[in-house]
Amino acid sequence: MDPIFLMNNLWIMIAFILVILMQGGFILLEAGSTRMKNAGHIAGKTIFTLGIVSLVFWAVGYGFIYGESAGGFIGLSDFFFGDFTTMFDGLAGSVDFIFQLAFAAIALTVAFGGFAERAKLSAYIVFAVLFSAFVYPVVAHWIWGSGWIGELGKQDFAGSTVVHLTGAMAAMAATLLLKPRIGKYNKDGSPNELAGHNQVFTALGVLLLWVGWFGFNAGSTFGVADAFFGFVALNTQLAAAAGAVAALLIAWASLGKADVPTMLNGALAGLVAITASCAFVEPWAAVVIGIVGGLLVFYSMKFFEKMGIDDPIFALSVHGAAGVWGTLSTGFFATPGLAEMNGGQAGLFYGGGFAQLGVQLISVVACGVFAFIASYVLLLITKSLIGGLRVSEEEEIMGLDISEHGSYGYPENVQTQSNNVNTGA
């Protein structure tokens, strides 16, 4: 066997493991960013949705993305993938399949950010199946399959649009349908802070996601022969760092406090933003992209809160706003050499004119609108199937751990509180 072929496949398997470990980052990030009474639900929900998306992706998702294209809209072959003799992107077909599956799982986890602390467990299950079959694969086919946006020359190296914007638009549809959590807004419309219960969990979750992102971006090189994955990893690191620093500084300057959650979201915004452009831009541009991502996430968090949209873990800002910026940034900063090497065109700042920027803008609008409308309709179908998306007021106050699962994520802590109340201690 060709040693380079073997190394390429081993590298992508390692990258797959890194991306799957990002689910652990999401568990800690979401649990830490929400209230203790919902922590066990969030952790368990993330694992079983990974199970659902894996089965759906195997059955139809991969075929809808990479199957024979029907007019550039959707693939219609390769369902129930299982042929170990196939080759794709210079890799064993099964290796490519499982790497792509991990991306589908991340998109669904992003989408579920809009459900936090108030959705029924049954809503998660039904929507997981529908999103994994009919939303994510369509967008992925348009850009990464043989779809019409890919034919225009769209540049999205690892998924600022495909994964993050798609997931964020689904999260927005859920957030609008579910309405704000109890206590988030006063009668006059002013917001209250429903703080997460553990900033250490949140920070550790961000660190796990940061590490996993090297599998996400650098793994999308699909090979080791020229070590280009190192350059992609460098850009990823710089953008994340710049996003964290920029978000911390703008929060400090604006609020008078060096707000920790904003800084953590800034790091994630930098990572989301560089995901499209990591193979197309110079390191200095990666820093600029990360800085803008960090600033953007701070202001978009304020914007959505002011608009009365309750986004508990800031999925709309981190994955939506930064996803849009990351996609457009490629149209500004892509260099001629890197664009040629990775199959695209130079950006506006490198003499490429508005051509590539226009393609990036078209993709944002088309994919964003489709993902939102499709998700909204599928959530209405879900609502009709299970008799509502949201738990009752009593169940929401009680917490999803006990109302949906019958046990607390922190049973000893809750028992201690109960004993203290009973004894008057």
298-344 residue pLDDT tens = 999 999 999 999 999 999 999 999 999 999 999 999 999 999 998 88
Can you tell me the mean pLDDT for 219-236?
95
Average pLDDT over residues 170-189: 95
pLDDT at 414 over 70: no
* pLDDT value at 365 more than 70: yes
Tell the CATH topology of 3-411: Ammonium transporter fold (1.10.3430)
The two structure tokens encoding residue 3: 């040693």
Mean pLDDT value of segment 172-186: 96
State the CB neighbour count (10 A cutoff) for residue 197: 17
Through-space distance between the first and last CA atoms of the chain, rounded to whole angstroms: 70
From its phi and psi, is residue 407 left (phi > 0), alpha (psi between -120 and 50) or beta? beta
* Total Cβ atoms within 10 A of residue 88: 15
Rounded distance between C-alpha atoms, residue 341 and residue 348, angstroms = 18
Residue 27 one-letter amino acid: I
With a pLDDT cut of 70, the percent of the chain lying above it is 97
Residues sharing a CB contact under 8 Å with residue 420, sequence separation 6 or more, in sequence order: none
Tell me how far apart the 2 most distant CA atoms of the chain are, in Å. Answer: 74
Res 371: pLDDT: 98
Which pLDDT belongs to residue 424? Answer: 35
Confidence at residue 398, expressed as pLDDT on a 0 to 100 scale:
93
Question: Per mean pLDDT, which range of 5-9, 43-47, 89-93, 249-253 is the poorest?
Answer: 89-93
- Which among 235, 264, 266, 92 is positioned nearest to 158, based on CA atoms? 235
Instruction: Give the chain as a 3 state SS string.
Output: CCHHHHHHHHHHHHHHHHHHHHHHHHHHHHHHHCCHHHHHHHHHHHHHHHHHHHHHHHHHHHHHHHCCEECCCEECCCCCCCCCCCEECCEEHHHHHHHHHHHHHHHHHHHHHHHCCCECHHHHHHHHHHHHHHCHHHHHHHHHCCCHHHHHCCCCCCCHHHHHHHHHHHHHHHHHHHCCCCCCECCCCCECCCCCCCHHHHHHHHHHHHHHHHHHHHHHHCCCCCCHHHHHHHHHHHHHHHHHHHHHHHHHHHHCCCCHHHHHHHHHHHHHHHHHHCCCCCHHHHHHHHHHHHHHHHHHHHHHHHCCCCCCCCHHHHHHHHHHHHHHHHHHHCCHHHHHHCCCCCCHHHCCCCHHHHHHHHHHHHHHHHHHHHHHHHHHHHHHHHCCCECCHHHHHHCHHHHHHCCCCCHHHHHHHHHHHHHCC
Domain layout of the chain by residue ranges: 3-411
- Determine the pLDDT at residue 421: 43
Nearest to 164 by CA among 244, 108, 123: 108
Q: Is 80 exceeded by the pLDDT of residue 279?
A: yes
Asked if pLDDT for residue 64 goes beyond 60, the answer is yes
Residue 249 CA from chain centroid, whole number: 24
Which pair of structure tokens corresponds to residue 111?
Answer: 């989408």
Q: Give the pLDDT of residue 137.
A: 97
The per-residue pLDDT for 215 is 97
For the chain, give the mean pLDDT: 93
- The two beta strands, 74-75 and 91-92, are unpaired
Q: What is the mean pLDDT of residues 175-194?
A: 94
Question: For residue 415, is pLDDT > 80?
Answer: no
Query: How does 363-386 read in b/e, with b if 16+ C-beta sit within 10 Å?
Result: bbebbbebbbebbbebbeebbeee
Can you tell me the distance from the alpha carbon of 215 to that of 198, in angstroms, rounded to the nearest whole number? 27
pLDDT for 423 beyond 50:
no
Which has more confidence, 123 or 412?
123
Average pLDDT in the 29-44 region?
95
Cα separation, 66 vs 93, whole angstroms = 11
pLDDT band at 211 (very low <50, low <70, confident <90, very high): very high
